[in-house]
Chain A
């Protein structure tokens, strides 16, 4: 609290510490203002807005600088739909206390939303127009206009009251009551609302005299800000009753589920499972068929590969035969009969064409003869010089070509070479041949003797 004279912060004493003025009465004025502010605040809390306005106005009469009271008064006006009055109070509040004032926030809220402010202004103009219609006795127009206003600004208490007045004048007491109830929701203890409500009730009773009094059938009581009206014999639902109803509902639900829903769901599930099993079986059998056909394809292709490999081998063998034939011919022309003979030995006659075969036979005959002679000569020389292994090699080739060469001499000396090389078992077949082919010869007699050893 500051001194009204010098602005110094006052202490508990009755004299200002700054200017020395007696502030006892001033303090009483301030306390009175605060007391009325508190009353106004209490009334505003219980929605007695008109009562709050009266208290707050008195508070401000005591102390115009009571910022809280002024801000609250603005709020109450705003809640009742009197926006301009609310703005007025907040502007004055901000003027008296520019810093740290809640009114700044309220003004910012309204000023930043220009569309809303325009809409409020329009509703005020329409309300004033409706009032003018009333004074001009155009009650129907006034009712229409007021309905529009209240649709836009349902908090305008004066609008509800004026509409109720018009309905009362028209004899529509039920509509009047409805309008007054709406006004009562905003401003509970408004004297005008209560008076009109009383008039509307009287009017309704006069309209329906045969109707039983309400209080025989109905009970009404206040619950907070609302009036609860209910039939007299209505049972109040207790917690126990609610729980019992819930349990019964749960039991019924479980029974319905188990006897109606579950079997159906189960059969659907079983059908679905069977269908899936069938589909799976079909899939397996088709896959098996596919596998079998693929296996057959694999077998066929393997056979083709084998055939092609054989063909390939035959082709290679064929090429090799031709190659060796050419090589043999070359060596024959050079006079190297041994090599030509070896080459001819590797040629496969089946792979040769007719012309090639003829060439082969021609060369073979000529080479063979010289070759044979060469083999026999070398073999015999080696035998004579006790080089039995070399002798065996050459004489065997000669015998393979012609076992009757030199009247069996190659055959005989081959056997001899084996025997002298300590391989009598290998010699015996050749001795046996000498015996068979040349039975009455000296060589045959010798062979018989060696065979019996």
Chain B
């Protein structure tokens, strides 16, 4: 049985044209490649730090 109130929560307001600019700015732009690069950078940094300690 459908609960009207619960179902209503699933409906979000549709974006209006004036909100398009904000939506673009807030868009998540991180993909797997960025994450991989981030991981590689962190790995390099750790390697450098452990090399100094040694």
A:129-171 near B, CB below 8 Å: 131, 134-135, 156, 158, 161-162, 165, 168-169
Say if the beta carbon of A120 comes within 8 Å of chain B: yes
Say if the beta carbon of A405 comes within 8 Å of chain B: no
Contact B37 A124 (CB under 8 A): no
Contact of A158 among B11, B31, B36 (CB under 8 A): B11
Say if the beta carbon of A9 comes within 8 Å of chain B: no
Contact A165 B4 (CB under 8 A): yes
Say if the beta carbon of B32 comes within 8 Å of chain A: yes
Contact B31 A62 (CB under 8 A): yes
For the complex, give the distance between the alpha carbons of A184 and B12 in Å: 20
Chain B neighbourhood of A121, CB < 8 A: 16-18
Say if the beta carbon of B23 comes within 8 Å of chain A: yes
B11 to chain A, nearest CB (A): 6
Give the nearest-CB partner of B14 in chain A: A124
**Chain B count of residues within 8 A CB distance of the other chain:** 26
Task: Given A88-B24, A131-B11, check contact A62 B32 (CB 8 Å).
Answer: yes
Contact of B24 among A32, A83, A92, A158 (CB under 8 A): A92
For the complex, give the distance between the alpha carbons of A28 and B31 in Å: 13
B18 to chain A, nearest CB (A): 8
Contact of A82 among B14, B18, B36 (CB under 8 A): B14
Chain B neighbourhood of A199, CB < 8 A: 1-2
Chain B neighbourhood of A61, CB < 8 A: 31-32
For the complex, give the distance between the alpha carbons of A199 and B33 in Å: 43
Give the nearest-CB partner of B16 in chain A: A124
* Proximity string of chain B (1-17) to chain A, C-beta cutoff 8 Å, 1 when within and 0 when not: 11010011011011111
Chain A neighbourhood of B19, CB < 8 A: 84
**Chain A count of residues within 8 A CB distance of the other chain:** 42
Chain B neighbourhood of A84, CB < 8 A: 14-17, 19-20, 23
Contact B14 A128 (CB under 8 A): yes
Say if the beta carbon of B29 comes within 8 Å of chain A: yes
Give the nearest-CB partner of B29 in chain A: A64
Say if the beta carbon of A196 comes within 8 Å of chain B: yes
A:318-354 near B, CB below 8 Å: none
Say if the beta carbon of A10 comes within 8 Å of chain B: no
17 A-B pairs in the complex with CB atoms less than 8 angstroms apart: A4-B37, A29-B33, A63-B33, A64-B29, A65-B33, A81-B14, A82-B14, A84-B19, A87-B17, A88-B20, A124-B16, A127-B13, A128-B14, A128-B16, A158-B11, A168-B2, A169-B4
- Closest 5 CB pairs between A and B? A84-B15, A64-B31, A128-B13, A121-B17, A29-B32
- Which residues of A are interface residues toward B (Cβ below 8 A)? 4, 25-26, 29, 32-33, 60-65, 81-85, 87-88, 91-92, 117, 120-121, 124-125, 127-128, 131, 134-135, 156, 158, 161-162, 165, 168-169, 192, 195-196, 199
In the complex, given contacts A29-B33, A128-B16, what are 13 additional A-B residue pairs having Cβ atoms less than 8 angstroms apart?
A4-B33, A26-B33, A32-B32, A81-B14, A84-B19, A87-B20, A121-B18, A124-B16, A131-B11, A161-B11, A165-B2, A165-B8, A168-B4
